[in-house]
Chains A and B, each alone.
Chain A
Amino acid sequence: MSEQNASPAEIEALVGSFCDDLRRLREEMAKMIVGQEEIVEGVITSVLGGGHALLEGVPGLGKTMLVRTLAECVHATFSRIQFTPDLMPADILGTNVIVDTPGGGKQFEFQRGPIFANIVLADEINRATPKTQSALLEAMQEGSVTISKNTYQLEQPFFVLATQNPLEMEGTYPLPEAQLDRFFFKLKVGFPDRHTLHTILDRTTTDEPPVPQPVLDKQRILEMRQLVRKVPLARNVQDYAVRVLQATHPDTPSATEMTKQYVRYGGSPRGVQAVILAAKIRALLEGRYAVSIDDIRHVAPPALRHRIILNFEGEAEGVDPDQIISDILERTPEAI
């Protein structure tokens, strides 16, 4: 794009090509992933928003398959890290090993860990110890790894998809709230319905499973990320997002009754950043040039559900943060 104003045709072409690329990506992924459109959209949104995603779902629902497919469609490097209680930070980041030099001596050489990939699947992240979790999360936040005073940049785009199993309670280390806040989206993977199950079986129990083809490259992902950030939004829409976030805090005047009753801490500014970015992506996906309030409503649940911390009563009552978010979206006026 030139420094001068882009012409309408150019902008239209940009947005059009954005939508086309995403459509092709979704179609390609749909060859491998049956149903789960919302999850796929959520993952793609996280990638384009420059964030990371946390998936929660029972085993066997295709989470690994989804990320692997995404990596193949984007022509990016992929690695899978299975988190176990005995996993150490060095197992993720890499470590220095002694190697022989040509001159007959020995020296340390850094062996990169599985985190040095574009797309990383951190499976069952809540099974690892907090020390190991923080090694990953630090890399997610900084985009680099520091070992023995040397800093190694992680190649962009760098995207982590972490999974959590809701059934595992014994011997797990739930992510603390401060760490959860680093995730762009939290997506809940539900069990497929009957029709979807039939399709899965038809595709995966026959002779030739489909093979996804790369449709985008890493550079294109980076360009798309940049375009997302250029999408404008009106003040009143931004104000709505801010009011929604404020309503998640029990001590603000705009907090709803449910918030006051069940919430200890509300979403952070990272939360509303995620909401805005995700809303921009959604606006582009729908071929619009600006964000609407409906976009905010649509993306608020996955962006905020893991940032709302329930109090004792909320935990005891088994309140779902999604219920609180729905209540807030219903009661927050669109314009004041």
Chain B
Amino acid sequence: MLLAAAGGGILVGAVIGGARRFRASLVATRVDRASGLSDRLGTAYEFERLLAADGPANLDPETRAMMEAAVRDGAVAVQRANVIAATPFRLPTDTRAAIAFGAVAMVVALLWWPHDDEIRFLPTSGQVTLDGKPLPDEQAMRGTLLFENTFTKTTTRIELGQRGAFEWKQELHRGPFRVIYEPNPGLCDLPDHTMPCARGPVIPAFSILPHAKSDGPNHVLHCSESDCSLDIDIKTRILEDPVDLNSDDIDYISDLLDDLKRTAEQDHDQSLMAFVKQVEQILRKAKKGEISKEELLEAMRKAEEKYQKNADSHMEESLADLQDMGKELTRNPMTKELGKSLEKGDLEKAQKQMEELAKKLEKGDLPEKQRQQLAKALDKASDKLQKRMHKREQDVDKQIHKQQQAMKKLRRKLDQEKNEQKRQELSRRLEQHKRELQKLQRKKEKQQQSASQRQLKQLQRNMQQAAKEMRSNDQKRQRQASRRMRDMARNTGKVDSDRRKIKTQKKVASQLTDLREAMRRAKRQGSRGPKDLFGKNRKNRDFGRRARGQQGQRGAWKPGQAGRKLGQNGGKPGGKGQKPGGDQWGEGHDPNMMGDPTGKGGHTKDESVSGQQGRGPSKRETILAAAQKGFASRSYQQVYAAYKAIVEEVMQTEKVPSGYKYYVKRYFQKIKPHPMD
């Protein structure tokens, strides 16, 4: 009955569809297209209607005549019209599904009854029970699986790891975690059922959701007749959406980290080195898929925050204080050199000089007179430093006090004022002063928290104490004075180190931005990238291979190749073609460092610019040769260095959108020269 009803419905639908009316012009177009009549019928139909309605009055005679000719032409073309081709019969889109359903229904209707030994126990996925806590890196796999009996439709619960009726084979793969169930022919008693053994092929594997990545080698457990070992320690960390870094991303980030490492080594910046190590750790986790994108970005943010911590905004003031102190110290012959170092800002040297003085003091190498002179110099310098720092604090305090007084005055006026407009004005001014006051208070707070200022305060105290103690002839006190001097050296060293850190932070600001951007661009696993419309991924891979000095693919894209073989006669009229290059590289310089005027076609070219004999290839030739043959030549390294030096500047001046800066930098990373073997 149901079947008949369904068939009847289809028939009714077909009749209704067949009775639909279509516009004549549409029919004419369809017939034209199907019959290859170049729109003769459609055109004739439209012109016929226009002419019958007496057409537009401003039609000139020739045009009218042509329209009539087109109508006649259309009439003749009707004989060639292939209406059947214009209305092909097409099966409904879901015909296959319908046929499949019909077949299945027939099978069911024909009362297929499984034999006892064909009953399957199929695992139902998604029923795995794991402990709901966040998973540690290593754990034993536990859980429960439900098996459905295909015949009785009952389910049986089986614990993972359970020995007994059904033994397990577990395969761990990278990617979705798979469990393969294979019945052990010898043991077939289920806890709830007593059925003959299930025989036949292995039941297909099913996935345990969510997907897990396995870090270990593939474990295939081979069961003996009676026993399988089922407790497996696997390193899994089940992630909903691990981050997916491709090899390009990893290379780029590694390059950036190498740059940062080099900077850290050059500048002896320990905190930058620590930051790099942290990021490397994060990168390792990302490569293994043990971290999601959100966690990646959060970890990066924390690492960067830690690195940027204690960025001292009062460094300039502190350096100015030291310079001033140095000026004072130059007045005394004992501390003249130390003073000069401090004046010049060479804190490293100043630190060494302090330590030398401390050493001399300790050994007792300074005669009495010199000691006294030294003490005098340190006293004066300490005084001056103290006064300077004190004055700065006092200035801020004075300003704070001034603001507070002004606010008090304004409040009094506000209380007394009756006029609404004036009250508003006074309130506004009061708010302004309040903001100023807050600013000053924050400034004072920062001053007090400033690491460099704290160091200077300690330096001043140590200097004062050292001066006091070295005046005495007591050896013990002189040793104490020496210790104070060493403390002074340490204080100076800390200021120096902070200064280097700030300098380095400024230096690497751009690279940190690039690193952040690179991490931000990392995809989630499974997310699709952009469509590769023009095979650009293939081109990029080939480019990458040639860039590493390997051969590109035959027939792969090369600059200038646009489906044609271009002549080698050079671009300029009268060009004589390529001359052999020399050993030395050219002295010529392409003034178009900022880029040539952009051509319209988007094609690159195999151009040979003729150079003079013996002078070697020009920059342009070097670059093109490198693009085709690889970036390992020495001359290319020099050319690259010249261009790389101006990349940053150009990107600022040319107003390249920030999204595209990333691509520009990736580009330069890809064409970076590699050392020759």
Give the B-binding residues of A (Cβ under 8 A): 1-8, 10-12, 14-15, 56, 58-60, 165-170, 172-175, 180, 190-191, 227, 230-237, 258, 286, 288-295, 306, 310, 312, 314-320, 334-335
B568-597: contact bitstring with A at CB < 8 Å (1 yes, 0 no)? 010111000000000000000000100011
Cross-interface CB contact of B69 among A8, A166, A316, cutoff 8 Å: A8
Q: Are B65 and A10 interface neighbours, CB within 8 A?
A: yes
Nearest-Cβ distance from residue B606 to partner chain A, whole angstroms: 9
B602–A14 CB distance below 8 A: no
The 21 listed contacts between A and B (C-beta, < 8 Å) are A3-B61, A6-B65, A7-B65, A11-B68, A59-B573, A167-B571, A169-B597, A169-B599, A170-B596, A172-B597, A174-B597, A180-B600, A190-B564, A234-B46, A289-B70, A292-B32, A292-B39, A292-B40, A294-B39, A318-B602, A334-B33
Tell me, yes or no, whether B473 is within 8 Å of chain A by CB. no
* Complex-state Cα separation, A71 to B223, whole angstroms: 91
Which of B61, B534, B571 is close to A2, meaning CB atoms less than 8 Å apart? Answer: B61
> Are A12 and B601 closer than 8 Å at their CB atoms?
no
Decide if B70 touches A293 in the complex (CB within 8 Å).
no
Bound-complex Cα distance A293 to B40 (A) = 10
Contacts A5-B61, A236-B25, A237-B39; A317 near B534 (Cβ below 8 A): yes
Contact of B599 among A166, A293, A294 (CB under 8 A): A166
* Chain A neighbourhood of B566, CB < 8 A: 58, 167, 191
Task: Write the nearest CB–CB distance from B563 to chain A, whole angstroms.
Answer: 9
Chain A residues near B46 (CB-CB < 8 A): 234-236
- In the complex, the answer to whether A292 meets B598 with C-beta atoms within 8 Å is no
**Do residues B536 and A317 form an inter-chain contact, with CB atoms below 8 A?**
yes
A-B CB proximity, top 8 nearest? A292-B39, A6-B65, A292-B38, A290-B70, A289-B70, A230-B62, A289-B69, A234-B43
| Distance in angstroms between the alpha carbons of A136 and B513 in the assembled complex | 50
Q: Which of B25, B40, B62, B657 contacts A11 (CB 8 A)?
A: B62
Q: How far is the CA of A191 from the CA of B568 in the complex (A)?
A: 13
B570's closest neighbor in chain A, by CB? Answer: A167
CA distance A318 to B540 in the complex (A): 13
A59, A227, A314 interface centre (most CB from chain B within 10 Å): A59
Given known contacts A58-B566, A58-B567, A334-B33, A290 and B602 CB-to-CB distance under 8 angstroms: no
Nearest-neighbor residue (CB-CB) of B32 within chain A:
A292
* A232 in contact with B601 given A294-B39, A312-B660 (CB within 8 Å): no
Interchain CB contact (< 8 A) of B605 among A169, A191, A310 = A169
Given contacts A291-B39, A292-B39, 9 further A-B contacts (CB under 8 A): A4-B61, A5-B64, A56-B601, A59-B569, A231-B66, A232-B67, A234-B43, A237-B39, A289-B66
Asked if A166 meets B605 with Cβ closer than 8 Å, knowing A3-B61, A11-B69, the reply is yes
Contact of B617 with A by CB under 8 A: no
Q: Is the Cβ of B62 less than 8 Å from the Cβ of A6?
A: yes
Distance (whole angstroms) from the CB of B226 to the closest CB of chain A: 62
CB of A169 within 8 A of CB of B66, answer: no
| Pick from B43, B66, B571, B604: contact of A168, CB under 8 Å | B571
Q: Measuring CB to CB, which residues of chain B are less than 8 angstroms from any residue of chain A?
A: 25-26, 29, 32-33, 38-40, 42-43, 46-47, 60-70, 72-73, 533-534, 536, 564-567, 569, 571-573, 592, 596-605, 607, 657, 660, 663
Are A334 and B29 in contact (CB-based, < 8 A)?
Answer: yes
Report the bound CA distance from A54 to B30 in whole Å: 37
B599 cross-chain contacts in A, Cβ below 8 A: 166, 169, 172, 174
CB-CB nearest in chain A for B39: A292
A335/B29 in contact, CB under 8 A: yes
Report whether B592 and A170 are in contact in the complex, using a CB–CB cutoff of 8 Å.
yes
CA distance A227 to B65 in the complex (A): 12
Who on chain B is nearest to A1 by CB? Answer: B62
Once A166-B601, A318-B602 are accepted as A-B contacts, the answer to whether A234 and B61 lie under 8 Å apart by CB is: no
The closest CB in chain B to the CB of A170 belongs to B596
Q: How far is the CA of A165 from the CA of B603 in the complex (A)?
A: 12
**A14: B residues at CB distance < 8 A:** 62
- With contacts A294-B38, A335-B29 taken as known, whether A1 is within 8 angstroms of B603 at the C-beta atoms is no
A172 to B573, CA, bound (A): 13
How many Å from the CB of A163 to the closest CB on chain B?
Answer: 12
With beta carbons under 8 angstroms apart, the residue of B65, B533, B565 that contacts A8 is B65
Closest CB-CB distance, B36 to chain A, in whole Å?
A: 9
* Cβ B605 vs Cβ A290 within 8 A: no
- A290 in contact with B597 (CB, 8 Å): no
Report if A167-B607 is in contact (Cβ < 8 Å); known contacts: A174-B598, A286-B38. Answer: yes
Q: Which residue of B lies closest to A316 (CB)?
A: B663
List B contacts of A15 (CB < 8 A). 66, 69
Most buried by A among B26, B29, B657: B29
- Chain B's closest residue to A227 (CB) is B62
Instruction: Say how far B43's CB is from chain A's closest CB, in angstroms.
Output: 4
Known: A230-B63, A234-B43, A288-B73. A319 touches B592 (CB 8 A): no
Nearest Cβ in chain A — how far from B59, in angstroms? Answer: 8
Asked, given contacts A8-B68, A11-B65, A236-B46, whether A319 binds B39 with beta carbons under 8 Å apart, the answer is: no
A315 to B67, CA, bound (A): 44
Q: Would A320 and B65 count as touching, CB distance under 8 A?
A: no
Pairwise interchain contact A236-B597, C-beta atoms closer than 8 A = no
Q: For the complex, give the distance between the alpha carbons of A234 and B534 in Å.
A: 37
* A183 vs chain B, min Cβ distance (A): 12
CA distance A1 to B60 in the complex (A): 11
**Whole-angstrom distance between the alpha carbons of A328 and B42 in the complex?**
22
| Nearest neighbor of A315 in chain B, beta-carbon distance | B602
- Report B-chain residues with C-beta under 8 Å of the C-beta of A334: 29, 33
Q: Which residue of A lies closest to B565 (CB)?
A: A191
CA distance A74 to B217 in the complex (A): 81
Task: Establish whether residues B40 and A166, one from each chain, have CB atoms under 8 Å apart when the complex forms.
Answer: no
Say yes or no: A1 contacts B29, CB within 8 Å.
no
Most chain A C-beta atoms within 10 Å of own C-beta, residue among B72, B533, B536, B596: B533
Given A6-B61, A232-B70, A293-B39, do A169 and B571 touch, yes or no (CB 8 Å)?
yes
A11-B71 Cα distance, complex, nearest whole Å: 13
- List residues of chain A with CB within 8 A of the CB of B660: 312
Verify B43–A292 contact, CB threshold 8 A: yes
Give the most central of B29, B571, B599, B600: most A CB within 10 Å: B600
Residues of A within 8 A of B72 (CB): 8
Q: What is the CA–CA distance of A6 and B65 in the complex, to the nearest angstrom?
A: 6
Most buried by A among B25, B566, B602: B602
Assess whether B69 is in contact with A310, with CB atoms less than 8 Å apart. Answer: no
| A residues in contact with B604, CB < 8 Å | 318
Q: Given A8-B68, A290-B67, are A234 and B62 also a contact pair (CB < 8 Å)?
A: no
From B62, B67, B567, B596, give the contact of A169 (CB < 8 A): B596
Min CB distance A145 to B, Å, is 27
